Structure formats: C-alpha cells, structure tokens
Amino acid sequence: MADTVRRAAAGDRAAWDALVTAFGRLVWSVATAHRLGPADAAEVSQTTWLRLVENLDRIERPERLGGWLATTARRESLRLIKLRGRETPTDDESRLDHGDDPTPESVAVGRDRDERVRRAFAALPERCRLLLHMVVVLRPPYTEVAAALDMPIGSIGPTRARCLERLRRLLATDGITTSGGA
C-alpha cells in the first residue's frame, strides 16, 4: 500500500484509482455511520478525498492510510453535522432568517398586537373559541370536530366563517386590521 500511496502522490492515475477502490467503501461507511443522508455522505466522501489530495505527499505512514481516511471522514462528518445543526431547512421563505434582527420597537408592537388578538379571542363566545381552536390549531378531521362539539359536519364551515368574521370585527374595533397593521 505504501508504494501505491507514493505513486498516487507522484500523479499516477492508476495508483489513485486503486486507493479509491481500496478505501472508498470505508470512507462512505464512516459518513453514513454518522446518520448522514446520501447527499451529505457524498459531500463528506468528496471532502475526505480532497483532504487526501491536499496531504498525500505528507502522509508519514502510508501503511496506515485507512486509519487516516477514517479519521478524516469522521472529522468531516462531525463538521458537517455541526454546520447542519445551525441550519433550518424549510420551503417556507417567510421563515428564512435574512439577518434582520427585530428592533425593540417591532418587538413591542408585535407583543401589543398579540395581546390584542388574545383579548379579542377571549371575547368570543365559548363555542366559537372551541371551534376555532379545533379547526385552526388542532386540525382534526371534521368528523371529530362535529362529534366533539355536537354539531352537523355541514355546519362547521359556515359556523367557522361566522366566528372568524366576529373575531375580525372585534379586532377592527381594537384597531387591528386584517392586513396586520395596528
């Protein structure tokens, strides 16, 4: 193996291919052992091989190349896991952090709006509060809503609409419009 490493360091393509063939599964298995998905495991594998290219002429013990590759793959896996832990994958662009920290004023305005919404919601009749909580927050099938509130399934939609309109009127009375302004 030491001869193959030296030849690969000298630019021998066949020697490099032999290293990839000999250790490719090892590198891949280290990445997948860290519960990385296929794309992330491929990234770790590619980065590990890149690190080998960068350091091939500095490998002091070529006979221990497998251990070097396993250690490098493990470090790259942990680095990627740490990096991914800082990310929040989403398809909802409104949840993306664009680096705009909220100002104290926007936090205060938001809290005030939230409190007004809570007060308006609390002013609704109990049946409206229960119905809206069920269909907006809990979201069970309408058959369960109908059974829990003892109402026909066909009445849920119209009753929900009336409750939401009542909530809109309460919010408008308190100065909150449906566009979110105060």
| Pair 141, 66 in one domain | no
- The domain of 149 spans 114-173
Q: What CATH number does residue 47 fall under?
A: 1.10.1740.10
Report the domain count for the chain: 2
Closest CA to 73 of 94, 39, 42: 42
Asked if the structure places residue 181 within a domain, the reply is: no
Reduced to 3 states (helix: H, G, I; strand: E, B; else coil), residue 11 is coil
pTM: 0.47
Tens of each residue's pLDDT in the chain, 182 residues: 788 888 888 888 998 899 889 888 888 888 888 888 888 888 989 999 999 988 888 888 888 888 888 899 999 988 888 887 655 566 666 555 555 667 888 888 889 888 999 999 999 999 999 999 899 888 888 998 898 899 999 999 999 999 999 999 999 998 887 654 44
99 part of a folded domain? no
Instruction: Give the long-range contacts of residues 153-162, CB within 8 A, separation 24 or more.
Output: 156/131, 159/128, 159/131, 160/131, 160/132, 160/135, 162/128
Burial of 58 (0-12, 13-18, 19+ CB in 10 A): exposed
The answer on 77 and 119 residing in a single domain is: no
- 118: CATH: 1.20.140.160
pLDDT score for 164:
95
- Whether residues 147 and 80 share a domain: the answer is no
* Same domain? 76 vs 151: no
